[in-house]
Chain A
Amino acid sequence: AQSVTQLGSHVSVSEGALVLLRCNYSSSVPPYLFWYVQYPNQGLQLLLKYTSAATLVKGINGFEAEFKKSETSFHLTKPSAHMSDAAEYFCAVSVEIQGAQKLVFGQGTRLTINP
């Protein structure tokens, strides 16, 4: 069964520092992987997705993620953190059901930015 594991439920970085949020997946078939961001009391917004077109995926707000099959990883990075990046981040893998997809989410990583 497909699943994702996010390493670290809380990550804290200084403003301007590198952001690295870790995600490892388990899948018996080529996976479709996603990163979503959730700001307090809001819904989820798609940051980026991997659908096998390119291993390095660029998303919104300066985020990117690299798919590494050998490591079964899809870590999210941003070169320089901004205060507005403080939020909860979810990695997800899609599971096919009758031609459509349901998302299986990791437990989330709360990112805190220190001034």
Chain B
Amino acid sequence: NAGVMQNPRHLVRRRGQEARLRCSPMKGHSHVYWYRQLPEEGLKFMVYLQKENIIDESGMPKERFSAEFPKEGPSILRIQQVVRGDSAAYFCASSPSIGRETHNEQFFGPGTRLTVL
């Protein structure tokens, strides 16, 4: 069973360009979470999605950032007009439908490291 897949693993963009980060959850998982890790910091929650729905985006910056999880295909985190402060590692995690025996466990992908020049 393949784990959570993220691509690209490394992404370099110049200021003002767009960054698209993709996440394919584990098979059978219907919940996707995005986290951001700034240098020398812990992970911060950005957004939680289910298929075709954004459930909680309280951690997303108000501008330039958007996320989607379409019915078919991977979840996408999109950053428009990137700035140097967007340089970070972006992690995706997935979890199965909530059940007592699998309560709360999130499985993380390897991350996408975004560098803005």
Contact = CB atoms under 8 A, between A and B. Distances in A.
Interface stretch (B12-20, B41-49, B60-68, B69-77): B41-49
B42 A43 contact: no
A107 B104 CA distance: 20
B56 A97 contact: yes
A51 B48 CA distance: 21
What's the interface size class on B, roughly?
20 to 34
What's the interface size class on A, roughly?
20 to 34
Given A45-B108, A102-B33, A97 B42 contact: no
A99 B104 CA distance: 10
- Tell me the dominant secondary structure on chain B's binding face: strand
B106 A97 contact: no
A103 B94 CA distance: 12
B1 to A, nearest CB: 15
Nearest to A97: B56
Nearest to B4: A43
Contacts of B55: 97-98, 100
B88 to A, nearest CB: 13
B56 A101 contact: no
Nearest to A109: B42
A77 interface: no
